[in-house]
Amino acid sequence: MITFPKDFLWGSSTSGPQSEGRLPDDGKGDNTWDYWFKQEPQKFHNQVGPELTSTFYEHYEKDLDYLVETGHTAFRTSIQWSRLIPDGDGEVNDKAIAFYRNVFEGVKARGIELLVNLYHFDLPMCLEEKGGWINRSTVDAYERYARICFEAFGDIVDRWITFNEPIVPVECGYFYQLHYPATVDPKAGIQVAFHTQLASSLAVKACHEVGSDYKIGIVLNLTPAYPRSQHPADLKAARIAELFQAKSFLDPSVKGEYPEELVELIKAHDLLPDYQEDDLRVIKENCVDYLGVNYYQPLRVAATKHLANPEAPFFPSVYFDHYEMPGRKMNPHRGWEIYEQGVYDIARDIKENYGNIEWILTENGMGVEGEEKFRENGMIQDDYRIDFIKDHLRELHKAIEEGANCKGYLLWTFIDCWSWLNSYKNRYGLVELDLKDQSRKIKKSGKWFKELSQNNGF
């Protein structure tokens, strides 16, 4: 029996834009995903957009019961900025206040710890039209939005989160064209990254001003970078890959300052962001109280085979090539490598290099395309997901036994949810969602997860 510490949290994570959907009279404004789908629906898998997602807005009472039925002691979701303040920086939508208050009270009434994220890739379109995160005014609008949330819901939220995976909109929006504005503009991307970090630090400051005992963190996808070999060039490639992917937000969020080597690399490419004199002090003085960590797969890299074209736009990958390790373990239904030891390596890094700050594994999960083929006797028999969770928990337990300060495990996700350009291509839930009639059915993993939670181990 692998047993976790007393009061260890068991639950799942979702987000507002991926689960709520919208109704004609709910007062929600468009975010970048709503807008982009209207403009280019062909980019989205099976042309399924964000207007319905998992209809949580309509069905949250029953959905919260599923949290109990699957053994949750913790639940993480997000507030949609475009629902609360439809134009991003104007009037507050009273219907949104009532909706989130009802949801949050429903979570707490079921004896479940509540984690609430303020931003999950969903910028109000009105702000994007004014320049989005490139524009300094978006930082100010976010700080106001965050403060409104703290004042409206601070009495009931157990843990706040400033941003989910902030490196992702930078990479996907300004390098790889997978998020709106889907451009290639490294100078803008680095400005967006800095403004996002500044906004996060300002939210930490505001949170502590509103409630001195409130806990606030940031959720980062800390993907360890593993070198192809111990050759110095491969080791350097891995170090630089991790600087851009993980440490660009981890260090300023936890330590209050950017890694010197990262700053020098950005300076060498003449890409330093614009900032005001006081910004670095704000970041230095407003570190997070705890950390959320998302982990799905490792980042394997090697020294580059070819020199970069000096006239091409800058990509961090000028310093490394992606590397497919022969014989790697795969999720055949998703195409991602499965490497459970990554959880242990993240835990060790946090313990040794980041003051062993308190943290929660806020996302980990197994996406499966065509999951209906595993249905038997009316239930998805997802033993592969149970094994995936067990194998990662073994590594997490080992790290905790060695002193890692991890307080919980949150799976992605509790009900199959909509996922950006992939829509419903890959299913992650403990509960199956039928897109035709929006009905829900617990999967085998959902039944097992309740046993895991009740036993505090397996």
The upper half-sphere exposure of residue 354, i.e. CA atoms within 13 Å in the direction of its Cβ, equals 29
Q: Which of 211, 200, 351, 357 is nearest to 279 (CA)?
A: 200
160 and 207 Cβ atoms separated by less than 8 Å: yes
* Active-site residue flag, 340: no
69 and 448 Cβ atoms separated by less than 8 Å: no
User: 227 burial class (0-12, 13-18, 19+ CB within 10 angstroms)?
Assistant: buried
**Structure token pair of residue 235:** 């080791």
- How far, in Å, CA of 57 to CA of 54, rounded? 8
* Active-site residue flag, 352: no
Phi, psi (deg, nearest 5) at residue 159: -140, 130
In the block, tokens 């929660």 appear at 360
- 232-242 and 260-268 are packed helices; what angle lies between their axes, rounded to 10 degrees? 90
Q: How far, in Å, are 43, 122, 176 from residue 184 at the CA level?
A: 17, 19, 7
Choose the catalytic residue: 20, 113, 128, 165: 165
Phi, psi (deg, nearest 5) at residue 39: -80, -40
CA angle in degrees (0–180, nearest 5) for 72-75-81: 160
Choose the catalytic residue: 113, 363, 371, 395: 363
Q: Please list the active-site residues.
A: 165, 363
